Structure 1
Amino acid sequence: MEQRLTDEERLTLKTGAFGAVLLVSNADPGMLSVLRESAAASGAFAGASGVVKEALTSGPLPRLPRDSQLEIESTVLPALTRSVRILSEKSPSEVAAYRSVVLAAADRAARAHAGVAAAEEAVIARIRAALAESS
């Protein structure tokens, strides 16, 4: 049985998803590349459906740290793991969709500017691990 997500739960899903893109963008920074990466990732989010789309497109934007990559990771990676747990409990049929959308957005962000850098590959591996932790 599917249950509606609370505002806080939707914000957790959004923090994980948007934060994953921020992590990738910060792994290989550059002003022009950040704009390209954000635009590329938004296409993956736009392709979401169901509960995942509702979570990513409704409510306020998450407040993500910007001071350091470590601070961003310490917020985003746990949010990804919590997001999968939330969906596992409330909407199990959406878990795979969330993982897929987040990884697609991260991959699109990484590929948007001059190919995938080693630092971006490493961040995507940490994102994938966070998404798998609650399995």
Structure 2
Amino acid sequence: MIVDDRLSDDERMTLKTAGFGAVLLVSNADPGLLSMIKESFAASDTIAASSGLVREVLTGGPLPRLPDDPAAAEEVVFPALRRSVEILSERAPDQVDRFRATIVAAAHRVADATEGKSGGEAAMVAKVMAALGVTP
């Protein structure tokens, strides 16, 4: 496997923090143990189905460390989502749309994994999309 070297390790971790953090925020918007398990699989499938540098970054290397507290997680994840778009725009502009599409799809899949989207999940998906610069 050829590793794409357009991103530094810190930049890769920013993208992973953004991606996994977005999924975490949507999942935490309507918590529940069984829901969390189903949502995990839904997010994993979406991320694994991506391709290129986005798939390489999101499926390789260490996992990000995210705060347990939802408010603290938002303070980390939303800036990481915005910064990820900036990083990709500068370093790998051909991957920006793929990254956005992957994260938005994963967020929707998590929200829809159990009994449809709750109001809290829908609101969090909208916040994730806004941070990525995606209009509904």
> The residue matched to 1:20 in structure 2 has which SS?
helix
Contact 1:7 1:59 in 2 (8 A): no
Runs of 4+ with >6 A deviation? none
Q: Percent identity?
A: 55
Contact 1:3 1:91 in 2 (8 A): no
Report 1:1-135 matches (<5 A): 4-67=6-69, 69-132=70-133
Contact 1:13 1:55 in 2 (8 A): yes
The one-letter amino acid of 1:70's match is: A
Deviation at 1:58, TM superposition (A): 1.5
| Distance in 1 (alpha carbons) for counterparts of 2:40 and 2:120 | 17
Deviation at 1:48, TM superposition (A): 1.2
Unaligned runs of 5+ in 2: none
| Distance in 2 (alpha carbons) for counterparts of 1:103 and 1:12 | 16
In the superposition, the TM-score normalised over structure 1's length comes to: 0.93
The one-letter amino acid of 1:131's match is: L
| Distance in 2 (alpha carbons) for counterparts of 1:131 and 1:14 | 14
Deviation at 1:65, TM superposition (A): 0.5
| Distance in 1 (alpha carbons) for counterparts of 2:68 and 2:27 | 12
| Distance in 1 (alpha carbons) for counterparts of 2:33 and 2:5 | 40
Unaligned runs of 5+ in 1: none
User: Can you list the C-alpha shifts for 1:8-41, whole angstroms capped at 9, x where unaligned?
Assistant: 1111001000010100110000011001001001
| Distance in 2 (alpha carbons) for counterparts of 1:49 and 1:71 | 30
| Distance in 2 (alpha carbons) for counterparts of 1:35 and 1:71 | 22
| Distance in 1 (alpha carbons) for counterparts of 2:81 and 2:131 | 6
| Distance in 2 (alpha carbons) for counterparts of 1:8 and 1:58 | 14
Deviation at 1:3, TM superposition (A): 6.2
> The residue matched to 2:116 in structure 1 has which SS?
coil
| Distance in 1 (alpha carbons) for counterparts of 2:78 and 2:47 | 18
| Distance in 2 (alpha carbons) for counterparts of 1:37 and 1:81 | 23
| Distance in 1 (alpha carbons) for counterparts of 2:132 and 2:5 | 21
In the superposition, the TM-score normalised over structure 2's length comes to: 0.93
> The residue matched to 2:58 in structure 1 has which SS?
helix
